[in-house]
Each structure stands twice: as C-alpha cells, then as structure tokens.
Amino acid sequence: MTVTQVRPTAPATGSGLPAMTALALGGFAIGTTEFATMGLLPQVADTFDISIPTAGHAISLYALGVVVGAPLIACLGARLPRKGLLIALTVALAAGNALSALAPNAGLLLAARFVAGLPHGAYFGIAAVVATTLVSPERRGTAVARVMVGLTLANLVGVPVATAAGHGIGWRAAYVAVAVVAGVTTVALARWLPVVPAARNAGVGAELRAFRRPRVWFALVTGMVGFGGMFAVYSYVAPLATEVTGLPGGAVPWVLAVFGLGMTAGAAVGGRFVDRSVTGTVFGALASVTVVLALLGWTAGNAVAVFGLLFLLGFGSQVLASALQVRLMDASPDAPSLASSSNHSALNIANGAGAWLGGLAIAAGWGYASTAWVGVALSLAGLAVAGASVLVERRQSGPARGRGKNLG
C-alpha cells in the first residue's frame, strides 16, 4: 500500500528558509552535545574523582540513548503532528543537557547523558522527513542536506567553542550552552515551522512494517558497516596527528576543524548529488571514502596530505549520510519516520564498531595509521552490501513489473 506524502497545511513564514534554519539549529545543538563530551572527559573525571575510562561511559550511554530512542520515539509518536513532536524533542534535549550540567555525582551524569541521547536520532529522522515536505520532490536531497548542516557546523564551530568554554569556565558550562541553544530551537520551531500532520494511516504497525522491506535493511546495514570506516579513523585522529604525523598537541583542534569543514562542504553541496541519483551517490561516496582512507594510510606521516585527506573524508562521509537518509525515506514512503530515524541508530552502531575495530588494530601493535586500513576494509564491506542491495532490487523489480505492482 502506498500512501501519499503529507504536505504542510500552512506555509512557512516568508519562505522555507526560516523553517530550515530552525531545523538545522536543533542539529547544531545535538552535534555539539554529542561530540563536546569527548574533549571534556579529563575535567569530568577530576570533578567526580573517577578514571577517564569511567568518565568515558558518558559517551557510551549517550550513544545507547540514540540507538534506543530513535526507533522507540518514532513508533510511539507515529500519529503525532510532526511540528509538535519536534518541539517536544528539543524540550527533552534541553532537559537532558540541563540535568547533565546539574548532576551532583557521576551516576546521575551518566543517567543524564542517556536521557540527552534519546531525542537525537528521532529528531534528525523526523526533521529530514519534514524538510522534504517544504520543497519540491526532486529537491529532497538538498532539503535533507540542509538539515544536516547544523550537525556539521557543530563539528566546525560548536564543539571547539564548547570545549574551550569547558576548559576555561568548567565542563558544566558546555552543557548549559547546549541547553540554551535547544531552548532557542524550541522557540524557532514554534515560530517558523509550518504545521505538518503525521502521514495518513500512520501508526506503530505501519512504521514497523517498513522493516519487512529488504531495501530498508540493506540501507541500514550499509550505514552500520560502511560508515564504520570513517569512525575507525576519527576516533583516534588526535593520536594519529600527534604520534604519526608529528603535529604538536595544539594542532589537534585545527585537525578536527578541517574535518568539520569538509563535513560542512559535503552538507552544502552533497544534496545536489542526491537529487540526481540517490543510489549513485551512495556508491560514489563509499568509493571516494575508501580511496581517501587508503591514501591516508599511505601518507599519514605527511602533514599537508593528512589535512587535505581529512577534509575529503569529512566531505565524503557527510554526502554518504545524506544519501542513506534519503534512500531510507524512499524505501518506506508510507512510514518514513521510523526508517529515517533508524539511520542515526545505525550510524551510532557504526561509531562504536569502528572505534572498537580500530582499537583492536592499535592494541595489536600495528600503530595508529592502521586505523585507516581498518576503515578501508569497512568501506569496502559497505560497498559490497550496497551492491547486494541493487542486485536484490533488480531481481524483485522484474516480477513486480510483470504483475503490475510496485514493491516500493
């Protein structure tokens, strides 16, 4: 059964730009709170007199919140108006970060980080669906990429600023700042986002039926595996830059900023590739990331090459993220919220898997540059999954055309 995509019942104020800006601002808050914790672990550990690995559980529990929250909220909120649900998610984001800032002990901080992670995947997934209703169908890739600009700007600006504020004022200040940005996002969404009702016949059953479709699973596994290649390197980019490339510790923020700049560029122009061909962009982005990772493994000792390749890695990874988001939405047009939100659960699984596999290579004594080759293997595996997806779709489309049916 195919259900027509529901369009907004009222136009955005002035144009779609204010609404897109409000959606991207929420992504900026989420991206900042997700990655700033990594730079604040020593301060958190000192405050609560715990080890840095123990403090690192705050990162793991945030990621667990993303994995759990994305499908749960998408299902439970399937019948709710999209505007109201997005506003509720930004309120929850503000609350989770306020609780993080106020946590009196390590246990409550860990619980607060789990709460803060719950809205993450659902927000991006539903915001992407809403963004596509604000533009013509042929520009849906551009719309999704615009929403993701907030996340990329967080890596470029939000995380360095929050980390600096955390070091200068105290780590709690970073979470206070994110709570404030989430509050501003709530007001902006209420003011600028048009009313977008839930899809017709939406419900838990309709959302769950999306997972009966092989295309949905293939897209999710492509993200889980293929995106792990980027995370295998990014998780250890600081010691790679200092121990292998030979850069001073003070250069690490610049290394991260260059990666964030690449992501921002990918979000800015990648949507145009997706608008032309979703499947082609998935293959092109995975292939480019594979090549970049291989070059990084060969040239990790050259500072100029590392800066350039990290920019390209950020660019290709962001283009891939936008393409997978649209592919999931296309694979489940009658119940896009759960499939779209689950993309971020898949990417967080890729985060953990990539970091774990990269850590195994380092522990085996192969050096920090070996994470690039782990990334190559994961990216190639992602390409294999994407190729299998196309083969399965072609086999299914032949009989479907013969019966005069559309399998979606």
For residue 307 the two structure tokens come to 């800066």
CA distance 160 to 154: 8
High-pLDDT (> 90) share of the chain, %:
40
pLDDT in tens, 373-404: 999 999 999 999 999 998 988 887 765 544 44
Work out the pLDDT band at 348, boundaries 50, 70, 90.
confident
For residue 364 the two structure tokens come to 């085996």
CA distance 223 to 226: 5
Report all structural domains of the chain as residue ranges with CATH numbers, in order of start: 1-202 (1.20.1250.20), 204-408 (1.20.1250.20)
Work out the pLDDT band at 59, boundaries 50, 70, 90.
confident
Average pLDDT, integer, range 228-253: 86
